[in-house]
Amino acid sequence: MDHKPIVHIPELLNQIDGLNIPQTLQLLAIRFPGQVTFSTSFSFEDQVIAHDILDNNIDISIFTLDTGRMFPETYSVWTSTNDKYSTRIKAYYPDRQLLEKYLDTKGPNAFYESVDNRKECCHIRKVEPLKRALKGNAVWVTGLRGEHSKDRQNLQLLEWDEGNQVIKYNPLLHWTTEEVRKYIDDNNIPYNILHDKGFVSIGCAPCTRAIKPGEDFRAGRWWWEDSSKKECGLHETSSVAAKS
């Protein structure tokens, strides 16, 4: 395999044409044995993908980023997922020294005080652990959807993540919210009950609220900030979409 799997994207696009998601995941797992991983936040979207991986016994590792500030309901669906599929989803945690320095110098809720503080908190709790989780992998499977935000409408099914040096596969990119919810219901998949209470994008508890009728999908995340800044850094790295 070439050092940079970006060279495989045009070929992969041809190979997955006409395949469903489980078939595509299986193809990737065979093409990059032991080097395909899926990051889950236990959202509606991520539960769909986890089901496809675990119910079909596809050799893809699954991990989550436990920031230490998640909702109790998120831990509940994590437990339910482990129990339903007889698995143990691996967790990556913030670097203790980085987190302790941040808390000692700025305090536990400094992210409300400035965008820079919030992004630093996100970097410590999410971005740095993600780097460790993706190390050694060739493909990163995500639950990103075009409906999430205007920026995400420009994503491609397969693209090269330059910052993390992996191929990103976004299987639900073109799914609607209704399709995601129907799949959850039809397959009796465990989900975060906060979704039934107006929460659509669920992250850390201090930085997430339910959205109001008519509000944008991302309005419940970092609601005190300008809408143009509403990313945590996980998906802000430079990506290149390869065409077949």
Backbone angles phi, psi at 221, to 5 degrees: -105, 130
45 vs 64: CA distance, rounded Å? 14
Per annotation, catalytic residue among 121, 122, 207, 232: 232
Q: Is 232 a catalytic residue?
A: yes
Q: Encoding tokens for residue 90?
A: 């691996």
Residues pairing with 90 in the sheet? 63
What whole-number distance in Å separates Cα of residue 221 and Cα of residue 155? 20
Active site residues: 232
